[in-house]
Structure 1
Amino acid sequence: MITGLYHAHASSWAITLLLFFIAYFLIVANKQKPGKIVHMVLRLFYVIMVVSGVGLLINYQFALTFLIKGLLALVLIYFMEMILVRTKKGVLIGKMKTYYWIQFAITAILVVLIGFNVLSF
């Protein structure tokens, strides 16, 4: 069971990041309807990712490293949503845009490094 959860979780992460960039570039290109559809599919993958992650946390008995990864993953989902929503509304500009993209990059790197056991506590 843990292998299935792991593969579902890892695959949903890869698809989530791919869908995020597709949605972002569709929104930036002012293709509202396709961007909205991809954004909704992305939200479905957030749910799949969170559910499989909680299943893994339960199987790993809430190990501290993976608990921190889970919290960072929720923060990453927040930054992904804020980048997409604020870009769509046209309010993500200047220093705020830089802040959100830097936070997205740092959090994504940390989540990936913890997920592949490069970082552990």
Structure 2
Amino acid sequence: MESIFYESHAGSWFFLILFFVISYFFTKQKITLMLQRLFALIMIITGIGTLFFYNFPLLYILKGVLAIILIAVMEMLVARKKRNEPQGGLWAACIILIIVVLLLGFNVIG
């Protein structure tokens, strides 16, 4: 069961980032934004399931908090792109958060 949660969680990250990029560059496509949100939800649920199997280590709790912030930043980037508002700082935060979350997830940091 642990493997199912972990593999679903890792795979959902790929699709979350893929649908974010598509949603950002093709703002007229509403289905990709809905798919982005669906995979964000799958990622959160499988992440919580994985935390149960690992007995809630502090490093993974930190990764989860940063991942939820990353999802919020992705949503803000898509929304600001639709409204033609400045996004420079959010892009910096998004890139940094993606790198940190991936490094935490693959045990490079910690």
Q: Give the aligned partner of residue 79 of structure 1.
A: 73
Q: Give the aligned partner of residue 45 of structure 1.
A: 39
CA distance in 2, matches of 1:102, 1:22: 18
TM-score using structure 1 length? 0.88
How many angstroms does 1:89 deviate by?
1.9
Count of matched residue positions in the alignment of Structure 1 and Structure 2: 110
CA distance in 2, matches of 1:89, 1:5: 37
Matched ranges for 1:1-121 at <5 A: 1-27=1-27, 32=28, 35-91=29-85, 93=86, 97-120=87-110
Identity %: 41
SS in 1 for 2:26: helix
SS in 2 for 1:49: helix
How many angstroms does 1:37 deviate by?
1.1
SS in 2 for 1:81: helix
CA distance in 2, matches of 1:44, 1:20: 11
SS in 2 for 1:62: coil
4+ residue runs over 2 A deviation: none
SS in 2 for 1:42: helix
Which 5+ residue runs of structure 2 have no aligned equivalent? none
How many angstroms does 1:7 deviate by?
0.4
CA distance in 1, matches of 2:23, 2:51: 29
> Over alpha carbons, which structure has the higher Rg?
1
CA distance in 2, matches of 1:60, 1:82: 31
SS in 1 for 2:108: coil
TM-score using structure 2 length? 0.97
